Structure 1
Amino acid sequence: MDNILMHLTIRDAVKTSILSKQWRYKWANLPQLIFDDKLWQELERNWKSARIKFTSILYQVLLFHRGPITKFALTIPELRSCSEIDHLIYFLSKNDVKEFTFKIQKGHKLSSLLFMCLQLKHLSLSSCLIYPPPSFKGFNRLIMLELDDVTIEAEVLIKLISSCPLLEQLVLRITVEFDYLEIDAPMLKLFELKCVTTSVSFKKSPLLEMVSVAADENVLAVGDEFCNFVEFLESVPSLQKLHMSYHFTKLLVPDEIQTMLPFTLNNLKILELSAISLYSLEELSSVLCLIKSSPNLEKLKIEMFAEEVDHATYLLDFLKVQDYSNVLLSRLQEVTLIGIAGTVPEMTLIKLLLEKSSTLKRMVISSKFYKCDDKLVGTLKELNKFLRASPNAEVKFEERIQQ
């Protein structure tokens, strides 16, 4: 019965009380309460004022619910800020909530009562203003923290992160510009960053396994020392998955071209690069550098940036002098290349991957163009001529889907 109730919207769960004596108020023992878009859309269809009806349901739930609430989610982007939300958070603070997800219309100042929920393990906040009270000492049990388009001061965020000693997952998608952001999370395993910031410093994260960074400009630091991206990679030896988006090469040394890292990324298994332009010498060399320095890659995904420029001779000259003799991708099994136009740098990359990947199972190539033309036909013919180290490698070519 509990399993059935947890698959219903909260409104439908309350309605089950009319089924029988056995079902009456059974919903009131639910350990998780979810108020989401599905509920809101239902209210908009059936009531003139969805907000008033929502408030009525909310108070009904708070009045009749008994027992602990381990998981609570309020994710209704259309809902405006209202005092009832503070009453709700007060109620949750008395019920040892462990997972809290919050997203309504932007601009709601989060109640300080949330920072009394010291049993929290998962906290996800969106589009709100965060001002912890001066007495707040931290979430000692928090494992996952996700902040999406929130308003928070850099000093407050730094203190919040450092006051969560068990933090393993940190996701920051913040539009506020910071001059400096320090990450002090010794148990951190996953880090995702999408924000405008001058510098990001990892004080100590030896267990970091997954990193995703999307930024136009970014200067990384390890401890108190600013560093380039090469030095940052060396400081996270446990890294298994890396995703870089936008002009990620700005994170590398800007004044020199890297052909190989001074160390190998032995634990890196998944590499994903988005919005990459192989027409740029810096980005082309960076892509090759990361691939050549990751001998144990298992999955590779590259999404090309749609840029129309003439082939520069310096790109071709760079490719000609590249040494691929010591490149070995003996564990690479899946490759996805999106936005291919059939240029020389792209074809060189495809050729390298096919020749050096002895265990490759599948390569999916997605076209930059919406329909197959003579140029793509020529690209397909050239692909079929490339040598393949893996006899089982399947190369699948897909046309771009019109959106």
Structure 2
Amino acid sequence: MSVMKQHIPSNFLCNAELEVDDISNLPAQIVDKILSHLSLRDAVRTSVLSSKWRNKWVTLPNLVFDNQSLLISSQDQTFIKNKIVNIVDHVLLLHSGPIHKFKLSHRDLQGVCDIDRWILFLSRGAVKEFILEIWKGHRYKLHSSIYLCQKLNHLELFNCLLKPPHTFNGFKSLKSLDLQHITMEQDAFEQLVSRCHLLERLTLMNFEGFSDLKIHQFHEHIQSCYRLIGLYVNPGFDKNLTLGSAGNLVKFFAHLPRLQRLEVQSFFLKYLADNKVPGRLPTPCDELSFLSMRINFNHLDECLAALCLLRSSPNLQELEMLARTEEQSTLRTVASVMKEDYQNCMFNQLRHVKIAGITGLKQELNFVNFLLSNSPVLERMTVKPASVDGAWEMLKELLRFRRASVQAEIVYVDP
């Protein structure tokens, strides 16, 4: 029995060859655009497309080693550690050209000594963004060669120990600094911040190494960041911290006129509210458009501090307030005093408000009523109570409040 030879049309072969040629001969800027939208893992896999794509990925300027790029299906921590190290080593060995961004963040990443080698390698180039997030184990002591990276404009660290050398004069190009769950001596932090003169965005969350006795000096060194436009503060202060000198609120904002985003977490508002709180700041925050505060509505001075910030932010567009439900003891009679402070204040740019953690206390509802009745362009207020207890009565009370904006809607979110 004869076997029939299958005939493949010549036009089909031509079309297939053309398609291969199209992929192989794409302009360099198109190839770079495609690779920039892929994870590092997928970018490496493009090597199989054609011989011309085989080494395209090795010139990627942004190297991101995260859960998406490092897919490791194992519960063996030793195997996971070795796999991560081998992959990073392999990529850095084959890489050619400048590295502008280096991010290492994997859910199973621990502070291994191999990170020292990678930082040393990067310090010899011109890395601009460095992100290191250690999700497991003890604090990783950041290798000293990181302080040689003078081209850095963004530095983000999680679960690290920082000990800059005494001769360190700051990052001359740094614009964004994000420090979360870090250990650092206060003197070193003060030196770091005060010598990064181009700093625009600063995030501080749960750092260790600051003494209560010196915590009042914190704002003095923030003031050196004249270009600062974004600030997130959650230092993990204890609610019984030793407060500093009078007028913290005024001093803190005295040299931050360009601030555009501010997040005040933990007990930092309590610190700012210490002693005398003015009705308005001497220098308004004209550029502040986003404000987030964690607040104890039962604390008179914190409420006054919040009102001061609101009055001093004429262009505020977004407001988030989270009630600290862990402090429910009323320190002073709030409601009777606050009625006078609610007068003569309009928020002509405020469009979105989120309030969470409230329990329906009178002073909380007074604050909500104040915002609704003085925000003529408000579009949405989202309210999420702390619990279901009394939530229905609180919702009925909220719906009774007069709204200055005819377009304002109240969105109730179940706790």
TM-score in same-fold range (> 0.5): yes
Query: Is the contact made by 2:296 and 2:327 (CA closer than 8 Å) also made in structure 1?
Result: no
SS in 2 for 1:395: strand
Q: Deviation per CA, 1:371-399, whole angstroms, max 9, x where unpaired?
A: xx7x4444333333332222222222232
Instruction: Specify the alignment match of 2:124 in structure 1.
Output: 94
Residues 8-47 of structure 1 aligned to structure 2 (within 5 Å): 8-42=38-72, 44=74
Matched to 1:364, the amino acid is T
Query: Which has the larger displacement, 104-113 or 91-100?
Result: 104-113
Distance 2:278 2:111 in 1: 53
Distance 1:43 1:280, change over 3 A: same
Residues 1:66 and 2:92 are matched in the alignment: no
Distance 1:218 1:296, change over 3 A: farther
State the aligned residue count: 376
Structure with higher strand content: 1
- Structure 1 residue runs without a partner (length 5+): 182-195
Structure 1 residue 21, shift from structure 2 partner = 0.5
Question: Equivalent of 1:84, from 100, 114, 126?
Answer: 114
Distance 1:259 1:345, change over 3 A: farther
Residues 1:335 and 2:353 are matched in the alignment: yes
Question: Equivalent of 1:306, from 314, 319, 325?
Answer: 325
Query: Is the contact made by 1:154 and 1:180 (CA closer than 8 Å) also made in structure 2?
Result: no
Query: Is the contact made by 2:203 and 2:233 (CA closer than 8 Å) also made in structure 1?
Result: no
Distance 1:94 1:312 in 2: 57
Q: Deviation per CA, 1:50-102, whole angstroms, max 9, x where unpaired?
A: 22333332332233221111111122353344443333233323332222222
Distance 2:383 2:163 in 1: 47
- Structure 2 residue runs without a partner (length 5+): 1-30
Query: Is the contact made by 2:201 and 2:228 (CA closer than 8 Å) also made in structure 1?
Result: no
Query: Which has the larger displacement, 78-87 or 361-370?
Result: 78-87
Residues 1:269 and 2:289 are matched in the alignment: yes
Distance 1:294 1:130 in 2: 35
Question: Equivalent of 1:381, from 388, 396, 414?
Answer: 396
Instruction: Specify the alignment match of 1:391 in structure 2.
Output: 406
Query: Is the contact made by 1:264 and 1:295 (CA closer than 8 Å) also made in structure 2?
Result: no
Residues 132-281 of structure 1 aligned to structure 2 (within 5 Å): 132-133=164-165, 136-179=168-211, 197-200=215-218, 201-202=220-221, 203-214=223-234, 215=237, 216=239, 217=241, 227-252=247-272, 254-255=274-275, 258=277, 260-261=279-280, 263=282, 265=284, 267=286, 268-274=288-294, 276-281=295-300
Question: Equivalent of 2:306, from 287, 296, 305?
Answer: 287
State the TM-score, normalized to the length of structure 2: 0.77
Structure of larger gyration radius: 2
Question: Equivalent of 1:5, from 7, 21, 35?
Answer: 35
Q: Deviation per CA, 1:234-256, whole angstroms, max 9, x where unpaired?
A: 44333343322233453245455
Query: Which has the larger displacement, 161-170 or 67-76?
Result: 161-170
Structure with higher helix content: 2
Percent identity at matched positions?
35
Query: Is the contact made by 2:198 and 2:225 (CA closer than 8 Å) also made in structure 1?
Result: no
Residues 1:109 and 2:141 are matched in the alignment: yes
